[in-house]
Amino acid sequence: MMRAFLKFSLTAALLSFSFILVAQTGTIRGFLYDKETGEPLIFTNVILKGAPRARQPM
């Protein structure tokens, strides 16, 4: 019983890890500037409109 639980737990952990790796393969590059002053914005969060909730913060 304990061996089956360990086997199931290990399999679930490995599958979860592979999904996490797949979810983090995108790259967004570019520059963000203030609309009024034209100055570059640093440490800015980017939200993708229409993306699933799990992928929004970049």
Residue 9, H or E segment: helix 2-23
Neighbouring CB atoms inside 10 A of 27's CB total 6
For the whole model, what pTM was predicted?
0.39
Top pLDDT among 33 and 48 is at 33
3-state percent breakdown (helix, strand, coil) of the chain, nearest 5? 45, 5, 55
Task: Read off the pLDDT of each residue in 38-53 and give the average, rounded to a whole number.
Answer: 82
| Per-residue model confidence (pLDDT) at position 58 | 47
